[in-house]
Structure 1
Amino acid sequence: MSDAGEREKTVEIMISDVGEMHIVLRPRLPFLVEGYRIQQKQIELFGEGERLGLDIPDDMVSEANEAEQALVTEFGRTGAIPVRETDILKQ
């Protein structure tokens, strides 16, 4: 059970009609994301010797494979203002 003021962990992957990928994370990652790879049905974010795999919804796999870059927006545990936004390239 979480405190009333604390939000749950959230991951949202969106791809626009023109193929731009946006990844929204709450809370922010403990490392600065430097790039990403697509591994089957996962996006692997990596940087500073760390990595994190995020599942891609089935209906977005082909679009995610076509995207060449992504915007990662990270939020703190609470609050509506992003704490970090990073443009990353597919490796």
Structure 2
Amino acid sequence: MNNKMKKLKCQKINILNSFHQMINIMIDQIKLLISLKNPLQYENSSLQSQLLEFTSDNQQLQAKLLTKLQRLTNKEEKQSMIYKWLFKIYKKNLRKK
């Protein structure tokens, strides 16, 4: 009887461990799905903050960029515009050095 109890206890622990692993996998999948659902929103906001940081010395340029970004509704267009402006600023800064 004692051997059977040990065996059952081990099986119970194994089942609990596998259940715990399944829950962790599901949590990871949910996190991945959330990040994949709208990745451009997070990426664009960080890119936009980078862009504003690069143009912090030129408020006129900042205002121009922000009005252009507000006009765009498509997230991919916003992202491409932000990349384009970041590249222009980067090239301009390289020429200064």
The TM tier, using the shorter chain, reads under 0.3
TM-score by length of structure 2 reads: 0.22
Pick 1 or 2: higher relative contact order, CA cutoff 8 A, min separation 6: 1
Q: Give the number of the structure whose residues are more often strand, by fraction.
A: 1
Q: Give the number of the structure whose residues are more often helix, by fraction.
A: 2
Structure 1 or 2, whichever has the larger Rg, is 2
TM-score by length of structure 1 reads: 0.23
